[in-house]
Amino acid sequence: MFNEINHQYSCYKNQELLWLPSDTSWGHRHNLETRYQELLDNDWINKQIVYKFNSHGFRCDEFTEEDNAMFVGCSLTCCIGLPIEDTWPTIVSNNLNLKCVNLGIGGAGPDTAFRLANHYIPQLKPKIVVYVQPPPGRFSMLLRTGKYQEFNAGHLDQIDPNFVKFYEQWVSTEENIELHSLKHRLAIQALCQQYNIKFIYMKEIEYKKLDLARDLNHPGVKSNKELAIK
């Protein structure tokens, strides 16, 4: 019914997973040994999370023609480390009585956010689009292999060695980073204006970390509830 697009979570189409980067089984076992008290304080002892992906590879229900709210961003939007019912996009959608369309991709940058918004906004025609800008310095590039290379300053080991020097040069200049984020935000905003859709923009730093998700890295249940009422 709706045209698909390839993205970093396409490999998870129609799957239910118990773990997802960076909320991995190995990481959780390590935290049980080294950060047990933090897991206990945040109520993550013996708690299971199911990451359920639809046929397009997103952590939300199947796309329909129902009135919806669309959320675009990175792991802060996908809400890694939390049950779906405790994620801020789900809470906001329920409060607005709209279907939740969560296009969040862990580790994604502004390029991926725009690419997904550009593809799905005309098809799904959301009533509202919420864009949480990913952390600065991220971008992606389509390789000859047909796969997307994500560039992230915190994960240089995951970048093709052929591109590391280029990326280090690019990310070393603040103007590159700022303009990269700005042009994608304006592009998503322009899409929303074109289709008369309400657009809400937030920076990643506006996401207050009051508690921690199961991976002890991303914001937790309280943090998501706080963000949802903003």
pLDDT of residue 195: 97
- The pLDDT value recorded for residue 52 is 98
Residues 6 or more apart in contact with residue 157 via CB below 8 angstroms? none
Dist. CA 208–CA 224, nearest whole Å: 9
Question: What are 188-197's contacts with CB under 8 Å, separation 24+?
Answer: 188/72, 188/113, 188/114, 188/117, 188/129, 188/131, 189/131, 191/117, 191/118, 191/121, 191/129, 192/121, 192/129, 195/121, 195/122, 195/125, 197/121, 197/125, 197/126, 197/127, 197/128, 197/129
Give the pTM: 0.94
Do residues 188 and 180 lie in contact, with contact meaning Cβ atoms separated by under 8 Å?
no
Diameter of the chain by CA atoms?
Answer: 52
The residue ranges of the chain whose pLDDT is under 70 are 205
